[in-house]
Amino acid sequence: MADDQRTQAAAWFRTLRNDICAAFESVEDALTGGEHGSLPAGRFERKRWQRQTAEPDNLVQDMDPAAPLVNGGEIALMRGRVFEKVGVNISTVQGRFSPEFRAQIPGAAESDGVFWASGISLVAHMRSPLVPAVHMNTRHIVTSRGWFGGGADLTPMFFDTPETAEDKADFHAAFQKACDMHDPAYYPKFKKWCDEYFYLPHRQEPRGIGGIFYDWLDDDWSRNFAFTQDVGRAFLNIYPQIVRRRMQASWTPEQREYQLVRRGRYVEFNLLYDRGTMFGLKTNGNTEAILMSMPPEAKWP
Amino acid sequence: MADDQRTQAAAWFRTLRNDICAAFESVEDALTGGEHGSLPAGRFERKRWQRQTAEPDNLVQDMDPAAPLVNGGEIALMRGRVFEKVGVNISTVQGRFSPEFRAQIPGAAESDGVFWASGISLVAHMRSPLVPAVHMNTRHIVTSRGWFGGGADLTPMFFDTPETAEDKADFHAAFQKACDMHDPAYYPKFKKWCDEYFYLPHRQEPRGIGGIFYDWLDDDWSRNFAFTQDVGRAFLNIYPQIVRRRMQASWTPEQREYQLVRRGRYVEFNLLYDRGTMFGLKTNGNTEAILMSMPPEAKWP
């Protein structure tokens, strides 16, 4: 039964990855204006990686791209004309946490450090400073316990514009709807968690305009999995809509400069505070996949 | 006596700052070739900041730039034609470490968290990818104990060139000389410490070609202070020499692109691993001063 759950979760993350990549490529096709309308539409490039562990029996030789992931991941990276750099990664890894890391992970002490984890992680940095950047991640982790976590948050470059107010309202509405289908307590709780998590104390600044963040959801596997799927579907529905309505507008060099500075804040958050980044680097994850969240260009003038 | 030591140390860091800024401005004046020889020579801009603490009696109202620092710092920042961005910061701060931070700092538990710290910190990011970036920092910290620490390390963009081999040899020779004047055991020990410290495990890459790194030097105040002064003098002597002999050469757009990628590694190191950055952010330091080490522009393509 537990094996079947893992298979279902991993298969979902792959399906969602495929759907998102298709939706983003379709957005690339739809660009007609802006500063880069004459560039070719972008396409994702995919790459498989296998996790190297200290235990040789965990190594997998099968690199058939159609085969399910056993202990590795797939990077899908697009450098497009709308999406300046977007990474959509899935991974399914298993192994043993180091003793010092076990205390921080629920149920890991009881599993003697043994874990299994599968998830999807996405960060999009856009060419236009008028199109918000976005992050989405959902995951299923199993130790002696098993839980779901994830969320999505939007990072417009300009916080105080009517466009941002509209994007913020629609982004939140999409995730509130996904939450409310499952539990009316979810949205207020997960919105607050997101605001608290995506905050830069040293700047006294929020990273963006929020979204939802949840973790350690383990009260009912089927319900929690269904909710995690709906979070993915909400993202797939709302973010391409927001991109499409903003991407045709032209921007100024000053707006681009400001975008590059805002991206510096994104770098600061991910390297100083992000748990996912730390988790990945400490569990011998794939550095290229983990740091795909870095913006293609950033400035600290 | 302890007050007199603090005064001497703080005065030295200020003198060194003045000498370094003058030397760097003189380098700016000397540029005739390269890609930016026609730009105006850069000049440092200085800014004072006061530390805000929870204890109002630590606040200092005197903003006279000639007055010694009591609980704050001075940022000197130059955006020049040779130095794309260089920050030379001095600070003298005092206060009380938070309980969770005390355990990590020698003598802080015994001082009930009370500390005094003064130092100079410098990071230079150069326009030319053929001129190495550099970092230098020395400091005197007092809790119930008192010690000196610091060092300097060089980050060429290209590791395997004859020019880098020459720069590396001269940079190391300068600091070896400073070390050997004080203790023949210093250089091998502090060189190794530097190599170990400035290393990116997730990339399995050194940050640069090393230099020296030392800390917790507390066996003899006068000797340790004299050594710290000689480290500063060695830097003042060697780095402008290296810049001057490299800065006139032209570079290609491909070399510039590579430089921007290498700068991404610099960002990763400073935000993921650097103790000074963490110390600054956790002791309510000045964020602008701490993150002045960030490069003006970086890429993760």
Chain A residues touching residue B299 (CB < 8 angstroms): 296-298
Return the pLDDT at A69: 74
A280: left (phi over 0), alpha (psi -120 to 50) or beta: alpha
- Between helix A221-246 and helix A2-30 the angle, nearest 10°, is 10
User: Percent of chain A, pLDDT > 90?
Assistant: 74
* A43 phi/psi in degrees, rounded to 5: -135, 145
Return the pLDDT at B24: 98
Return the pLDDT at B104: 83
B218 in Cβ contact with B144 (< 8 Å): no
Q: Which two tokens stand for residue B264?
A: 């991404």
The reply to whether residue B260 touches residue A297, judged by beta carbons under 8 angstroms, is yes
The radius of gyration of chain B's CA atoms, rounded to the nearest angstrom, is 19
Q: Is residue B187 part of a domain?
A: yes
Q: Is residue B219 part of a domain?
A: yes
Question: Would you place residue B265 in the very low, low, confident or very high pLDDT band (cuts 50, 70, 90)?
Answer: very high
Q: Is residue B44 part of a domain?
A: yes
State mean pLDDT over A225-235: 98
Q: Is residue B301 part of a domain?
A: no
Return the pLDDT at B53: 58
Dump pLDDT digits (tens) for B182-204. 999 999 999 999 999 999 999 99
Average confidence score pLDDT of chain B = 91
State mean pLDDT over A85-93: 95
The alpha carbon torsion through A154, A159, A165, A168 (nearest 10 deg) reads 10
Return the pLDDT at B285: 74
Return the pLDDT at B112: 87
Q: Is residue A299 part of a domain?
A: no
Q: Is the pLDDT of residue B100 over 90?
A: no
The reply to whether residue A299 touches residue B301, judged by beta carbons under 8 angstroms, is no
Q: Is the pLDDT of residue B252 over 90?
A: yes
How close A284 gets to chain B, by Cα (Å)? 8
**Count of structural domains within chain A:** 1
Catalytic annotation, residues of A: 135
β-pairing, B83-96 with B45-50? unpaired
Residue of A nearest to B79 (CA): A301
Question: Would you place residue B79 in the very low, low, confident or very high pLDDT band (cuts 50, 70, 90)?
Answer: very high
Question: Would you place residue B14 in the very low, low, confident or very high pLDDT band (cuts 50, 70, 90)?
Answer: very high
More confident residue, B283 or A267: A267
CA distances from A120 to A249, B18, B178, B256 (A): 30, 52, 52, 34
Catalytic annotation, residues of B: 135
Q: Is residue B300 part of a domain?
A: no
**For the ranges A127-131, A204-208, B30-34, which has the lowest average pLDDT?**
B30-34
Q: Which two tokens stand for residue A85?
A: 């750099």
Residues with Cβ within 8 Å of A220's Cβ and at least 6 positions away in sequence, in order, are: none
Average confidence score pLDDT of chain A = 91
A300 touches chain B (CB under 8 A): yes
State mean pLDDT over A105-115: 89
Residue B86: give its domain's CATH number: 3.40.1500.10
Chain B residues touching residue A203 (CB < 8 angstroms): 287
Query: If we measure between CA atoms, which residue out of B267, B296, B291 comes closest to residue A299?
Result: B296
State mean pLDDT over A118-124: 97
Q: Which of A45-59, A208-222, A268-282, B57-71 has the highest mean pLDDT?
A: A208-222
Q: Is residue B298 part of a domain?
A: no
Chain B residues touching residue A260 (CB < 8 angstroms): 297
B59 touches chain A (CB under 8 A): no
* Distance from C-alpha of B295 to C-alpha of B207, rounded to nearest angstrom: 14
The ipTM of this complex is: 0.90
A203, A281, A294 ranked by CB distance to B300: nearest = A294
The reply to whether residue A297 touches residue B299, judged by beta carbons under 8 angstroms, is yes
Q: If you ran DSSP here, which 8-state letter would residue B250 be given?
A: -
Q: Is residue A298 part of a domain?
A: no
Long-range contacts of A62-71 (CB under 8 A, 24+ apart): A68/A7, A68/A10, A68/A11, A68/A14, A68/A92, A69/A10, A69/A14, A69/A118, A70/A94, A71/A95
Dump pLDDT digits (tens) for A138-185. 999 999 999 999 999 999 999 999 999 999 999 999 999 999 999 999
* Distance from C-alpha of B301 to C-alpha of A200, rounded to nearest angstrom: 24
* Distance from C-alpha of B30 to C-alpha of B36, rounded to nearest angstrom: 12
Q: Is the pLDDT of residue B28 over 80?
A: yes
Q: If you ran DSSP here, which 8-state letter would residue B69 be given?
A: P
Residue of A nearest to B201 (CA): A281
Please identify among residues 80-139 of chain B the ones whose CB lies closer than 8 Å to any CB of chain A: 85
Burial of residue B269 (CB within 10 Å: 0-12, 13-18, 19+) is: buried
Return the pLDDT at A18: 97
Question: Would you place residue A1 in the very low, low, confident or very high pLDDT band (cuts 50, 70, 90)?
Answer: low
* Distance from C-alpha of A127 to C-alpha of B3, rounded to nearest angstrom: 55
State mean pLDDT over A271-285: 79
Question: Would you place residue B102 in the very low, low, confident or very high pLDDT band (cuts 50, 70, 90)?
Answer: confident
Q: If you ran DSSP here, which 8-state letter would residue B41 be given?
A: P
The reply to whether residue A272 touches residue B268, judged by beta carbons under 8 angstroms, is no
Q: Is the pLDDT of residue B45 over 90?
A: yes
Q: Which two tokens stand for residue B168?
A: 């590396």
One-letter-per-residue 3-state SS of chain A: CHHHHHHHHHHHHHHHHHHHHHHHHHHHHHCCCCCCCCCCCCCCEEEEEECCCCCHHHCCCCCCCCCCCCCEEEEEEECCCCEEEEEEEEEEEEEECCHHHHCCCCCCCCCCCEEEEEEEEEEEEECCCCCCEEEEEEEEEECCCEEEEEEEEEECCCCCCHHHHHHHHHHHHHHHHHHHCCCCCHHHHHHHHHHHHCEECCCCEECCCCEEEEEEECCCHHHHHHHHHHHHHHHHHHHHHHHHHHCCCCCCHHHHHHHHHHHHHHHHHHHHCCHHHHHHHHCCCCHHHHHHHCCCEEECC
Q: Is the pLDDT of residue A62 over 50?
A: no
Q: Is the pLDDT of residue B40 over 60?
A: yes
What is the number of residues in chain A? Answer: 301
Q: Quote the domain boundaries for residue A269.
A: 3-293
Dump pLDDT digits (tens) for B202-238. 999 999 999 999 999 999 999 999 999 999 999 999 9
**For the ranges A56-65, B136-145, B259-268, B290-299, which has the lowest average pLDDT?**
A56-65
